[in-house]
Chains A and B, each alone.
Chain A
Amino acid sequence: MASEGAAGNHRGDDSSSGATEVSVLKKISSEINATLDRDELFDTVLRTLDELFGFDHCLILLLDETGESLEVVASRGYPDSALSTKVSLGSGLAGVVAKRRRMVRLGGLSQQRAYVSTIRREMEKTGRSNELGSAPSLPGLADVESQIGIPLMVKDALIGVLLIESAVKRAFSERDETLVSIVANQAASAIKSASLVRELTEAHGRLALLNETLEDRVRERTHELQRTNRELRDTQAQLLQTAKLVSLGDLVAGVAHEINTPLGAIRANADLARRAAVRISAALASAEQASSSQRDSGIPQALGALDEATKTTLVATQRISGIVASLRNFARLDESERKEADLHDGIESTLTLLHHKLDGRIDVLRRYGSLPKIVCYPNRLNQVFMNVLLNAIHAIDDRGTITISTRTEGDHVVIDFADSGRGIPAENLEKIFDPGFTTKGSGVGTGLGLAISYRIVQEHRGFMTAASEPGKGALLTVRVPTTR
């Protein structure tokens, strides 16, 4: 007698077997629909197929994201190595079921294999070996006799394959096929739902994580942008100042050259005139002794005036020479590289250039200590002195004093610029080195002078501080290390 298949174990006569199957299917349906966890669902499907129908070798394969192959996602009765195995569409029973979207039940597979082997041998004998392929490696029983492959479909779309195998001949009947197809339909819908739930849960998790990190990322990015913006503004300001300095340098060089040439001529002439006057004066003195008639000619007075004029001219030209030297020293056009310099020279040159702004209303008190020469960029430090002194001058409304003190403290040179001006309100004191901060009003100050000064001093590995009490003036201190 032929076996009636595994499901036959649950059947008696027709009416009672029908009732039993309905009850089994209800139980399966209820268990399958009781969970939305995918792994739990796979386990439920495979366990119930085994426990209720005796199908102890089952695989669930799902279509992967490429849509070109199936992947074993759950198994019962096989070693764990079967999991994650890939099966191409069209390869083996599962692959053909997926490709054709048709249920297939196969029996007597050892007979079929023997038949195929006979054909292979015949083909090899007749020289047709090149038409033959090799058997693919597929998950499943090596000595399989019976198979059912059922496509798992949801609304005409394939999601996977349920594969049931047995090493027993005639293991599955037509009735088994029908029962399993009902289970497979239920399972397909449940797997789809569980997959959607899992995708939603994962998406929700990703979204929550994104939300958690979003604020931090925005804050971090904002800081980054602010820092970049600040650096950009600093760089722009520095470029502007550098450009100004270069222009000033050009101007100073031109002025110095233009003044120096006629100045040389004036000085030479004045000197010549003074010596000529001395000689004339000496000659006249000799002649006076010879002729007293010339005593009232007025020539001695004229010569005296000439002498005075030439002396004054010499003093003036010396003064102009001093200004030219200061201009050259300030710009240090020939010293753009780092070199050893006396900071007192730089301060003095700057004061010379600001002489007209001091205008007799501001006294400058010098309390210079002994400073070593330091290696620095002299022209850049001169720019610092210029900015600090200009600020002090602007802070003094009427008459006042600027006191410049220098000293050495440890390995630092310290220069204090104290003014008797309006002072700086406490709320502004910490902002005065920020780029763009100014109290001079629109069009008067750029707000960059002290920021650039601060940067220049920083580049010398020094630092600047400010102290003030409103109404009592301000103190700006520059500290620069003596060694670099």
Chain B
Amino acid sequence: MMYERLPDEIKTVLENGVPAELVSCSMDGVPNTTVLSQVYYVDPESVALSFQFFNKTVRNIRENPHACVLLNDVEGYAAWILKLRYDHSETEGPVFEDMDVQIEAIASATGMTGVFKLKAADIYRVESVKKVDFEPAPEG
């Protein structure tokens, strides 16, 4: 199923730490995949991705603002593919604060304070959303 904007049902997926993979690509066509800590629902037309570790992704996005996020929602028997375009980065404001406090809470509970931290909230415009439903595995 295709959407032009983020549907409401994706909120639950984004809020519950579904593993997300971010795919970016350099100008010369070399792709890079990395795992994201957070994909934050900003509004129906944009998401914020947590910028923590990935230097290669930053380089790629500077050259080529197009990116793709894959969410494997095992609980919901579905996968979501978000086509995005980088817009800007925020290091303050409500979106950054919300993401930062969540990451700080996880970091402090796992002994990763000071290491696992948010450098910026990267805001991406949503270009398209695709939901792929899975068939539940037969029981037994």
Contact = CB atoms under 8 A, between A and B. Distances in A.
Interface of A: 1-3, 90-93, 95-97, 100, 102, 104-109, 111-113, 115-116, 118-120, 123, 131-136, 138, 146-147, 149, 169-170, 173-174
Contact of B101 (A104, A107, A123, A174): A104
Per DSSP, are chain A's interface residues mostly helix, strand or loop, or mixed? mixed
Contacts of B128: none
B15, B16, B98, B112 interface centre (most CB from chain A within 10 Å): B16
Contacts of B31: none
Contacts, number: 99
B33 interface: no
B105 A136 contact: no
For the complex of A and B, 4 pairs with smallest distance between CB atoms:
A108-B17, A107-B16, A133-B111, A2-B12
Contact of B108 (A90, A107, A112): A90
A111 B75 contact: no
Contact of A107 (B15, B35, B112, B113): B15
B97, B101, B110 interface centre (most CB from chain A within 10 Å): B110
Interface in B96-116: 97-98, 101-102, 104-116
B76 A1 contact: yes
B115 A112 contact: no
Contact of B75 (A119, A149, A170): A170
Contact of A118 (B35, B75, B101): B35
A168 to B, nearest CB: 10
Contacts of B101: 96-97, 100, 102, 104
Nearest to B17: A108
B64 interface: no
Contacts of B15: 105, 107, 170, 174
A480 B110 CA distance: 88
A100 B17 CA distance: 21
A108 B18 contact: yes
A90 B113 CA distance: 9
Given A2-B75, A96-B101, A131-B114, A115 B19 contact: yes
A458 B40 CA distance: 95
Given A1-B76, A116-B116, 11 more contacts: A90-B108, A92-B109, A95-B108, A97-B101, A105-B15, A106-B105, A107-B15, A116-B112, A119-B115, A120-B112, A169-B16
Contact of A116 (B11, B13, B106): B106
B12 A112 contact: no
Contacts of A149: 105
Given A96-B101, A170-B75, A113 B11 contact: no
A111 B105 contact: no
22 contacts: A2-B76, A90-B104, A92-B109, A95-B108, A96-B105, A97-B105, A100-B101, A102-B97, A104-B102, A106-B106, A108-B17, A109-B106, A111-B19, A115-B19, A116-B110, A119-B116, A120-B112, A132-B111, A133-B112, A136-B111, A169-B75, A170-B15
Contacts of A136: 108-109, 111
Contact of B13 (A2, A95, A133, A147): A2
B37 A92 contact: no
B105 A132 contact: no
A132 B115 CA distance: 7
Contacts of A100: 101, 104
B17 A133 contact: no
B93 to A, nearest CB: 13
A135 B109 contact: yes
Contact of B35 (A90, A115, A135): A115
Contacts of B98: 102
A3 B16 CA distance: 11
B12 A173 contact: yes
A100 B99 CA distance: 12
Contacts of A173: 12
B11 A112 contact: no
Nearest to A173: B12
Contact of B17 (A96, A112, A132, A134): A112
A91 B104 CA distance: 9
A134 B97 CA distance: 25
A100 B96 CA distance: 13
A107 B37 CA distance: 12
B139 interface: no
B69 to A, nearest CB: 15
B28 interface: no
A2 B75 CA distance: 7
A396 B20 CA distance: 121
Interface string B27-56: 000000001010000000000000001000
B135 interface: no
Interface string B66-97: 00000000011000000000000000000001
Nearest to A5: B12
A104 B105 contact: yes
A119 B105 CA distance: 16
Contacts of A115: 19, 35, 37
